[in-house]
Chains A and B, each alone.
Chain A
Amino acid sequence: MENNKVEVIVVGAGPAGVSAAITLARAGKEVLLIERGDCAGDKNIFGGTIYAKQTAEIFPKFWLTGPIERAITEQKIFLLTDYNSTQFSYKYSSKGAYKAFTVNRAKWDKWCCNQAEKEGAYYAPKTLVKELILKDGKVIGIRTEFEEFYSDIVIIADGVNSLLAKQIGLRKDIKDTDVSLSVKEVIKINKEKLEDRFNVDEEDGCACKILGGPLKDKFALGFMYTNKDTISIGYSISLDEIKKYKIKPYELLDELKAHPTISAYIKDGETIEYSSHLIPEGGYKAIPKLYDNGVMIVGDAAMLVNNVHFEGTNLAMLSGKIAAETAIEAINSKDFSASSLSKYYTKLKESIVIKDLKTHKNTIEIIKKNIHTLSSIYPETACEFIEILTEADGIEKKVKYRKFLKDIIKKGVITSSIPLAILAMEKCLKR
């Protein structure tokens, strides 16, 4: 690196930034990857998984050497009422065809970053970028606490709060309806106990989504993920809902943990880490302009999260890769203008990143409107139905059926009996 100048600077060593840096390094381009944490991953958390196929496009056969926790072999959905629950799950074999993995982000992000370094990226941890350097309306570098670095292109991968995108006007203030707060605990538990409780084999794991219970009537979704010998449990909730209900996020987390169905999974466990993070959930309509002269935005900083399908890390990686490919073309043609870098957005539109977000541009509104049905009435009705089917208590079945039908008509389940997911899908397809 001569005179603090490289071809590309990537700010932020999360999934988007590292994917961009490694793609550039592999093409022989000079790239500097900057991270504010002591190590990549220090500041990162998620309630989620990495996806096998899309992650392997950046890190081939990562499961052989990367620090994965468990291969997901079961997707489980919990519908909670105040005290009870109905659960349904999809269980599959992972043998030979991994779909998703849980990871510990502190370890995983660090490993990914090491791979980028091995491929030739310069890596600068413990470095906080204070601002972008502009000249004649072009981004020409970055200023840290102590020095300046220059580049032909800066790729902004500084996460959901992206102060850098805001500095150059590509991002406005985030609306509280466009972002969710996630709180999480990592609970340590005996490995055999964990495998028994979640009914998984060694190395296999379970991903759980939780609706209702303490989260009922709020635009909130709970989750549990199994790691090697820990369980990640938490939920995310739209910021405007926290304001509406004046919730203290950690108290609601305790309520979720105390629900009889959930508490049985984490019993005798020891919380070894509490954490919190924002998730950009504004979807298609909240995506800002993603490029300008000498600059592109990727990952969470670009608001690229598909919350309907719980996807984020995969979209981050893909956007990072596409931005890097655009940068490679720009370097080869020595054209770093906005019009040259607009190819990034064109390619993003042709990829699943924008296509899927566009498909769901109105889905969240539909879910928000129907949140009472989804998070209260569905769990209650499912539990009542199974209770009627299985309970023998001397009461005549006809009496029970009549009451059940009367109740669901009263609650409006009949009128909303076409499952909302199908309704939403139908609407998506019509567009």
Chain B
Amino acid sequence: MNINEKLATLKYNKDKESHLAVDNDVCMRCNEKVCTYICPANVYEWNEEKCIMTIRYENCLECGACKIACDKKNIIWRYPNCEYGVKYKNG
């Protein structure tokens, strides 16, 4: 069961704007890019061509792992505004 199938089991109310942000210049200098593998929802993907971090914030599970694990402390992390984000039914 790949990550997209796992995420498809979830109910989200998607916000129009992202509750997550990074400074792409800092990401460019970051060798490790921990966020690209540590995120349980595969939110972060480095776009080599455009040199930007793609952030699929709408899939975020609001766990906070990315913010803690980022070696550069480069992730601005907050909760989605109320009524938005993931809604668990079976936690």
Contact = CB atoms under 8 A, between A and B. Distances in A.
A38 B87 contact: yes
B69 A105 contact: no
A101 to B, nearest CB: 15
Interface string A97-109: 0000000111001
A42 B88 contact: yes
B31 interface: no
Interface in B43-77: 61-65, 67-69, 73, 77
Interface residues of A, number: 49
B34 to A, nearest CB: 6
B17 interface: no
A43 interface: yes
Contact of B6 (A38, A128, A271): A271
Interface stretch (A73-81, A174-182, A289-297, A379-387): A174-182
A185 B5 CA distance: 12
A106 B89 contact: yes
B82 A176 contact: no
Contacts of A340: none
A163 B77 CA distance: 10
Contacts of A128: 79, 81-82
Given A239-B69, A249-B40, A275 B91 contact: yes
A45 interface: yes
A94 to B, nearest CB: 23
Interface of A: 36-38, 41-46, 104-106, 109, 126-128, 144-145, 160-161, 163, 173-176, 179, 181, 183, 185-186, 230, 239, 242-243, 246-250, 254, 257, 271-278
Given A104-B90, A239-B38, 7 more contacts: A37-B87, A38-B83, A106-B89, A109-B91, A144-B82, A275-B88, A276-B63
Of all A-B residue pairs in the complex, the 8 with the closest CB atoms, nearest first, are A45-B91, A105-B91, A276-B40, A274-B6, A161-B64, A128-B82, A186-B90, A273-B90
24 contacts: A42-B88, A43-B62, A43-B87, A104-B91, A106-B91, A127-B82, A128-B82, A145-B81, A145-B82, A161-B77, A163-B78, A173-B68, A174-B68, A239-B69, A242-B65, A243-B32, A243-B38, A248-B37, A250-B3, A250-B6, A250-B40, A273-B89, A276-B41, A278-B64
